[in-house]
Amino acid sequence: MTVDILEYICQSSGAHRAPLEKHISARQSHLRRAIIPIMNIKRLLLAIAVAFVVLFATDFLIHGIWMTPDYRVTQQLWRTDPEMNARIGWMFAAQLLWAATFVLLWTRWADTARLGCAVGYGLLMGLFSGVWAIVMYVVVPMPCGIAAKWFFAGIVQSILVGFVTFYVYKPKPQPV
């Protein structure tokens, strides 16, 4: 491909132009499909919405119920409830961005994926996105238990979102 382009640039004759342009155009089209797969927009939007709802619900269970005692013991580290409520829009935006990114990355492999792939994808995304919990433990003077709960709960949460995304954005059945 590189040689073809270099030859094209070096040629002053237009004789090679049409076949080379077709070749480049076909190549770009293939590359575009490889980078941005053809998506079912309805399933994509539904999967993002469902991932957002699952993320929001599990965040409520994790932070609003399970970890509330931990947050009360270390309340000097956190914003007050009125301060948090004043910034809740940022929380929703972050969760929506996370859900959209998670699903968009998933669509790259969704056509050939199996349930095991979804669980593995969720695990990897949980590990990837859970790094912030370790960094926060280093930066904020908090107990190790809080960071550990954030890290492991985030992995479980990502696996759950991967599982749900698999079923919502599942590949269409292939004709036999």
- Give the range of the structural domain holding residue 26, as residue numbers without chain letter: 2-35
pLDDT (0 to 100) of residue 108: 84
pTM of the model: 0.75
* Alpha carbon distance 124, 118 (integer Å): 10
Q: In terms of domains, do 71 and 126 share one? A: yes
Query: What number of other Cβ atoms are within 10 A of residue 79's Cβ?
Result: 11
The count of domains in the chain is 2
Q: In terms of domains, do 62 and 135 share one? A: yes
User: Comparing C-alpha atoms, which of 134, 104, 109 is closest to residue 119?
Assistant: 109
Q: In terms of domains, do 104 and 27 share one? A: no
pLDDT (0 to 100) of residue 3: 44
> Residue 175: inside a domain, yes or no?
no
> Residue 174: inside a domain, yes or no?
no
Q: In terms of domains, do 6 and 55 share one? A: no
Inter-residue contact 43 to 168 (CB < 8 Å): yes
pLDDT (0 to 100) of residue 145: 98
pLDDT under 70 in the chain at which residues?
A: 1-38, 171-176
58: burial class by Cβ within 10 Å (0-12, 13-18, 19+)?
Answer: middle
* Alpha carbon distance 68, 40 (integer Å): 40
pLDDT (0 to 100) of residue 40: 81
